[in-house]
Amino acid sequence: MTAPSHEDEAPRRARPGDVAAIEALQRAAYARNRILLGVEPMPLQVDYNDIVAQMEVWLFGPGGALRGVLALQAEPDALLIWSVASAPESQGAGLGGFMLDFAHARARELKLPTIRLYTGQKLRGNIDWYQRRGFAIDRVEALADRTIVYMRKRLD
């Protein structure tokens, strides 16, 4: 079986008019995480008007159909992947890896040597998935309602 091609997923920058669609995709994409975490996922606790205004938010999907959202924030020494979310019907089809590859390319364009991200400790599948893609656990932080795993990948 050949891997699906995501060439039709040419990303575009989000605009304020995309916020409702972004929020809907995020709610659907993170629904399973809500169950696993037992709390509301952090990417669902924000105002996406602010996120679109303050971060690079990239939308993926053919012909205007929204299948993925990638929110990036450039920092002085790293590119933070704030959120990578695939629509439920697109999960497991390689879109997440495609969006990670896009983040790598974006970090290189910005001349940033590192990519950072975080996920919930209870989301073991996410941690394993990121580790298979070269991310290492940087640190773990216990909050009042959850434990966060911070991960990092150096780009060579």
Task: Please state the domain extents for the chain.
Answer: 7-154
Task: Return the higher-pLDDT residue of 7 and 149.
Answer: 149
Which of 49, 51, 31, 54 lies closest to 41 in space, CA to CA?
Answer: 31
pLDDT computed for residue 86 by the predictor: 86
Q: How far apart are CA 17 and CA 32, in angstroms?
A: 27
pLDDT cut 70: percent of the chain above it? 88
Question: Which residue is associated with the tokens 């911070």?
Answer: 150
Q: Where are the alpha helices (DSSP H) in 18-87?
A: 19-29, 31-37, 48-54
pLDDT band (50, 70, 90) for residue 31: confident
Of 48, 49, 92, 96, nearest to 70 by C-alpha is 96
pLDDT tens digits, residue range 85-140?
Answer: 988 777 777 888 999 999 999 999 999 999 999 988 878 888 999 999 999 999 99
* Nearest partner of 118 among 27, 35, 43, 20, judged by Cα: 43
- pLDDT interval class at 4 (50, 70, 90): very low
**Average of per-residue pLDDT values in the chain:** 87
Tokens 């606790």 correspond to: 45
Average of pLDDT values for 1-22?
73
Adjacent-strand bridge partners of 142:
147
Q: Decide if domain 7-154 falls under CATH 3.40.630.30.
A: yes
